[in-house]
Amino acid sequence: MKQSKIPLTDKKVLVLCTGNSCRSIIAEALINAKLDGIEAKSSGVRASGKVNPNAKRLLEEKGIWKDEYHSKVLDEVINDDFDLIVTVCDHANESCPMFPRPIPKIHVGFEDPDGKGYEAFEATYREIEEELLPKVVEFFEIKKEVSKSNEGVDIKFSGFVTKEKIETMVNNSKADNVNA
């Protein structure tokens, strides 16, 4: 049985928090910097209107700050086409609004570093990198298993799959088996 992973492409994630000043901004920057094929935006259920200076400083020091990062209200992003919503605080998880179309949601909560020392921001950065990024990748990861049977080829898919992806994978699997 042959098993392979399909590369991630063109996925869009919304990172949702309460104030959109620390955790969600850090997660947005990390996803954009470290996960190929996935684009992130962030927003707040009650956006503060400003990025925490320690969060900005940390992202600048890590070399992943972009001037486009800013604290946004949901109205700025609610009509964007997202493939996944990630809540990073309990309040956002509990009060996640309805979107114009159904969007899968996962929750990975982190303690708010706001009002704490710079070390708390560094710890939050590490936690988001170590805990959240793998969960986002896992959510989108598509696995296929191909095996020969008496009737031809059996193909099993798991993960985030759309009709277009299935058609592409079936066609690719046919080519894989011809070359096997």
Domains of the chain, start order = 8-140 (3.40.50.2300), 142-179 (no CATH)
| E-strand stretches of 59-141 | 84-87, 105-107
Active site residue 89: yes
pLDDT (0 to 100) of residue 150: 82
Mean pLDDT by 10 residues, the chain (180 residues): 52 94 97 95 92 98 97 91 93 76 91 96 98 94 74 68 59 58
Amino acid at 102: P
pLDDT (0 to 100) of residue 119: 97
CA angle 117, 122, 123 (to 5 degrees): 95
Q: How far is CA 10 from CA 13, 54, 158, 160, 165, in A?
A: 10, 30, 18, 13, 12
Active site residue 96: yes
Q: Is the pTM of this model over 0.85?
A: no
pLDDT (0 to 100) of residue 147: 76
pLDDT (0 to 100) of residue 50: 95
Active site residue 22: no
Based on C-alpha coordinates, what's the Rg of the chain? Answer: 19
Please pick, among 8, 74, 77, 96, the residue that the annotation labels catalytic.
Answer: 96
| Contacts of residue 61, Cβ cutoff 8 Å, sequence gap at least 6 | none
CA distance 78 to 86: 14
Please pick, among 88, 89, 136, 155, the residue that the annotation labels catalytic.
Answer: 89
Please pick, among 14, 15, 16, 17, the residue that the annotation labels catalytic.
Answer: 17
pLDDT (0 to 100) of residue 81: 92
pLDDT (0 to 100) of residue 35: 95
pLDDT (0 to 100) of residue 151: 78
